[in-house]
Amino acid sequence: MFEKTEKGMWWDEGSKLVEGCSKIGKSCENCWSLEMEKRFGGDGVVKIFPKRLEKIMKRKKPTVFSIWNDLFHPAVPEKFIDKVYGMMLANPRHLFIVLTKRPERMLKYYNTVIETSAQVGEPALIDRALNIVIGTSAGTQIELDMRSDLLKLIPVHRKMKMLSIEPLLEQISLNLYENRPQGEKIARPVNGGGFTGKSIGGDIREVPGFGWVIVGCESGEKKRKCDLRWIENVVMQCQRARVDVFVKQINVNGYVVKDLDKFPGLGLRFREIPNYLEHKYEW
Ligand code: SF4
């Protein structure tokens, strides 16, 4: 599982369950996904592809799937989001990474599912799934500030949340910490399925709100500046907070470099991977 990190890839396979999107901020400006769709005749209008769920379900080999494009785009019907989550929960051998630039809708979705389940006396499951990593992506401070606090509010264990800082377009302060109340429960898998909760106790304290940060420069013909010091700074912030950090690619004199051995300076050579990507939950 998860064999392509040396190429800067932090997933095994991308699954385009949604095609089309609309740009929402500076980091979307040169969106690679929309560009590729355009090349193959796409019109950018949001479309869903339920049949592609079957392909994932048929895959026997445990795989880390990155769900593309933005599942929480306002044009994606809620019923389809339900289907995607149903599929992910029913296939725990795979791990799914769901990134959105619309965490406000993701938060609303999680809260609705949890409330609805509580009303009928059933566990929601999505809040304790150990094969679904949720995240948001940002390339500028303003994008990060708008999105990361919303992600922190989603009632999922903080280790199962991530930030994708790509393309990094300026120096960013990650604001990695959050306050956690006394007696926090951590969802853990138990033998034979299901979950148990263990109180970790203690006073209100500051802890990292995320388990993983990906950072990288922009690629492509229109790539924008990405200073190596900005990347180093992101790495340092993660190290200080003990959050795993994965440097996907850097821009050296106008060239995009993915080979870790060719990264100048040890401060950039970080390809850390959270243990849950191998179904090991040690936290
Ligand atoms: S949200 Fe993602 S897929 Fe949509 S335009 Fe922005 S970068 Fe592209």
Ligand 1 pocket member 28 (CB < 6 A): yes
21 CA distance to ligand 1 middle (Å) = 6
Identify which of 198, 204, 255, 201 has the alpha carbon closest to the alpha carbon of residue 226: 255
Which domains does the chain possess?
Answer: 5-278 (3.20.20)
- Predicted local confidence at residue 185, as pLDDT: 56
- Predicted local confidence at residue 114, as pLDDT: 95
pTM over 0.85: yes
Q: What is the pLDDT of residues 112-141, one digit of tens each?
A: 999 999 999 998 899 999 999 999 999 999
What residue type is assigned to position 225 of the chain? K
Ligand 1 pocket member 136 (CB < 6 A): no
Ligand 1: nearest atom to the Cα of 23:
5
Ligand 1 pocket member 38 (CB < 6 A): no
Ligand 1 pocket member 229 (CB < 6 A): no
Phi and psi at 108, nearest 5°, equal -65, -40
Low-confidence ranges of the chain (pLDDT < 70): 1-3, 181-204, 281-283
Ligand 1 pocket member 257 (CB < 6 A): no
Please report which helix (H) or strand (E) contains residue 104, including its range.
Answer: helix 103-119
190 CA distance to ligand 1 middle (Å) = 37
CA 115 – CA 123 distance, rounded (Å): 10
Ligand 1 pocket member 21 (CB < 6 A): yes
269 CA distance to ligand 1 middle (Å) = 27
- Predicted local confidence at residue 179, as pLDDT: 80
141 exposed, middle or buried (CB, 10 Å; 0-12, 13-18, 19+)?
Answer: middle
Ligand 1 pocket member 33 (CB < 6 A): yes
Ligand 1 pocket member 70 (CB < 6 A): yes
Q: How far apart are the first and last CA of the chain?
A: 20
- Predicted local confidence at residue 2, as pLDDT: 59
